Structure 1
Amino acid sequence: MKEQLIVIVGPTAVGKTALGVSLAKKYNSEVISGDSMQVYKGMDIGTAKVTAEEQDGVSHHLIDIKHPKETFSVAEFQESCIPLITQVNKKGHVPLLVGGTGLYINAIIKQYQFESMPTDKRYRDELEQLASKLGNYELHTMLKEVDPKAAESIHPNNIRRVIRALEVTRVTGIPFSRQQTEEQTVSPYTTAMVGLTMERSKLYERINKRVDIMIEQGLVEEAKALYDSGIRGCQSVQAIGYKELYDYFEGLYSLEDAIVNLKQNSRRYAKRQLTWFRNKTDATWFDMSNGLNEQTFTEICTFIEGEIPFISK
């Protein structure tokens, strides 16, 4: 019998964390974070990391496992996540994979095969140095020239992914976009994939409000502590919420303008997330415009129990 898995996806600020905790409590289960930035210690406010209070006694995995100076790849995520899914299943429970990093989610659902991808460390180091000198967009332009399709699907600020695409293309001579078909067409899990959406205006309002709350909670001070400790040019601080404030610390923008940029970048990211999940997953969508009310929660539970019949027993 296949292992079982509940997946919750959707854009930033839509309510994934709260739903994950509510479902985990109902089904006596555990949450696995599918967020590429919540792995970093000391980056709590800007990543909207679930607090101890919000966890409400529910076990959460793959949070606070890396120092901000360290890198963390989708392959590492897959390597860490798959054993956790097995571990929770062996306890007789169905784990909940909750997050907004689409590539991470699909790496689990479709079991991407990463080990066959070749590497060239020297070339990768060259590209990292180029990115530091010339900026992310220059490398993204290089990718456009050799693999327009990959450039279209990878955002310029996802610099690790841009570098990886350039590296693989150079080593193999085959465009990176043509090599991303190494996935299982049938999921290794019995999966219930829940997608959360919301009226665009309400979502954007929630994002703007969330940023204001983050600032009140001390996001500027959190980012400044990272900046002052010498964490620069790392994967972690390329995250939305940190890179905008780093621009402020560097004197490129006023604090007011940095916050405006942060809100705008967060809204754009949410839009990209929605598009990605709609195009790249088989999620069944639930509207959260009225919040996580009893009716919506019941509908989601009914859907999950239809996909994973044993869960309600």
Structure 2
Amino acid sequence: MKPIVVIVGPTASGKTDLSIKIAKKFNGECINADSTQIFKGTDIATNKISIEEMQGIKHHMISIKEVNENYSVAEFQKEARVIIDNLLKEDIMPIVVGGTGLYINALIMNYNFNNKDHINNYSEQFSNLDNESLWKVLYKIDEKEANKIHPNNRYRVLRALEINELNSRNKSSIIKDNKSYYYKNIIIIGLDPIRNELYDKINDRVLNLIEKGLFEEIIEAYEKCSKNELSQALKCIGGPEIIKYINNQISYPESIELMQKNNRHYARRQLTWFKNQLKDVNWFEYTYDDFENICEKILLFLKNKLLD
């Protein structure tokens, strides 16, 4: 039976390009594990792979929800595992690709959820609290998790509180206790580009997405979400910053600078998560000029793994 290949790394590290090469080489199909690419209507913002870029490789878990809908990590775990099981039965290599650490962990580790994974209208009970006060509520319950989240990231604070409520235990302890693999045959590839090159790549990507129509896309999605700033789909890079711009909270140049800054910070958080939360990752460091050579080394690495 073929292994499950998992590709992790920061945004703009080349995960998508590598996944296509692996799929073509080893008869694989790709499974998206990026929480923002689950939604329709934010294709530019999430740098979603195009039909042409797929090169005939089948992709799963992309654009399966409307932009104004919600989607939980428990739903992702359940649906993605069904896909993996079906692919393995057909002797097709599942290639999990994405930068959302919680999605990766929930999928490949023994990560258990309460029978309920969402409380209807949970956020309403905290509507009278500002962001700082809400964060302090989480800090009292789960200091470790609170220290990972900026007080202004109200969505993540609320989600951590909700997980605590559903499971009668805090999120950090749940993560700690779910360290064993759900699947037996997993190969995890980690992409780790040189930092200054990564940050330059991120800055350039933001400008490129703007040229493609990023502002227009977010504004349209924002309207479809009834101008709900907490909409899950609008948590993508560009969403919060552009919403601030159209609400006259920041200027156009400030929104671009903030997008670049937040995207760089997000990349750092991704690397920290994967290096701290995942074990047995085969990390590959590289410069972007050497990316094609690194891909060849990874393909050879996987070929040798298959022969073991």
Residues 212 and 309 (structure 1 numbering): CA distance in 2 closer, same or farther, change over 3 Å? Answer: same
Residues 75 and 155 (structure 1 numbering): CA distance in 2 closer, same or farther, change over 3 Å? Answer: farther
State the AA in 1 paired with 2:249: L
Number of equivalent positions: 305
Residue 294 of structure 1 deviates from its aligned partner by 4.3
Task: Note the aligned Cα RMSD (angstroms).
Answer: 2.3
Residue 6 of structure 1 deviates from its aligned partner by 0.3
Show the counterpart of 1:236. Answer: 233
Q: Say whether residues 1:254 and 2:251 are aligned partners.
A: yes
Show the counterpart of 1:5. Answer: 4
Q: In 2, distance between residues paired with 1:170 and 1:30?
A: 37
Query: Are 1:69 and 1:231, in contact at CA under 8 Å, matched by a contact in 2?
Result: no
Residues 145 and 67 (structure 1 numbering): CA distance in 2 closer, same or farther, change over 3 Å? Answer: same
Show the counterpart of 1:296. Answer: 294
Q: In 2, distance between residues paired with 1:158 and 1:105?
A: 21
Structure 2 gap ranges (5+) = none
Query: Are 1:8 and 1:99, in contact at CA under 8 Å, matched by a contact in 2?
Result: yes
Residue 158 of structure 1 deviates from its aligned partner by 5.5
Query: Are 2:105 and 2:111, in contact at CA under 8 Å, matched by a contact in 1?
Result: yes
Q: Say whether residues 1:287 and 2:282 are aligned partners.
A: no
Q: In 1, distance between residues paired with 2:186 and 2:163?
A: 31
Q: In 2, distance between residues paired with 1:181 and 1:61?
A: 29
Q: In 2, distance between residues paired with 1:153 and 1:19?
A: 29
Q: In 2, distance between residues paired with 1:93 and 1:51?
A: 22
Q: In 2, distance between residues paired with 1:226 and 1:119?
A: 23
Residue 141 of structure 1 deviates from its aligned partner by 2.7
Q: Say whether residues 1:43 and 2:39 are aligned partners.
A: no
Look up the SS of the partner of 1:49 in the other structure. Answer: coil
Show the counterpart of 2:221. Answer: 226
Segment drifting more, 262-271 vs 164-173? 164-173
Residues 169 and 28 (structure 1 numbering): CA distance in 2 closer, same or farther, change over 3 Å? Answer: closer
Q: In 2, distance between residues paired with 1:99 and 1:7?
A: 8
Look up the SS of the partner of 2:93 in the other structure. Answer: coil
Q: Which runs of 4+ in 1 moved over 6 A?
A: none
Show the counterpart of 1:134. Answer: 130
Query: Are 1:31 and 1:95, in contact at CA under 8 Å, matched by a contact in 2?
Result: yes
Residues 283 and 171 (structure 1 numbering): CA distance in 2 closer, same or farther, change over 3 Å? Answer: closer
Show the counterpart of 2:272. Answer: 275
Look up the SS of the partner of 1:38 in the other structure. Answer: helix
Residue 118 of structure 1 deviates from its aligned partner by 7.8
Residue 238 of structure 1 deviates from its aligned partner by 2.4
State the AA in 2 paired with 1:26: K
Residue 237 of structure 1 deviates from its aligned partner by 1.1
TM score, norm. by length of structure 2: 0.90
Q: What's the % identity of the aligned pairs? A: 38
Structure 1 gap ranges (5+) = none
Where in structure 2 are the equivalents of 1:166-245 lying within 5 Å?
Answer: 166-170=161-165, 174-183=169-178, 185-229=180-224, 230-232=226-228, 233-245=230-242
Residue 145 of structure 1 deviates from its aligned partner by 2.4
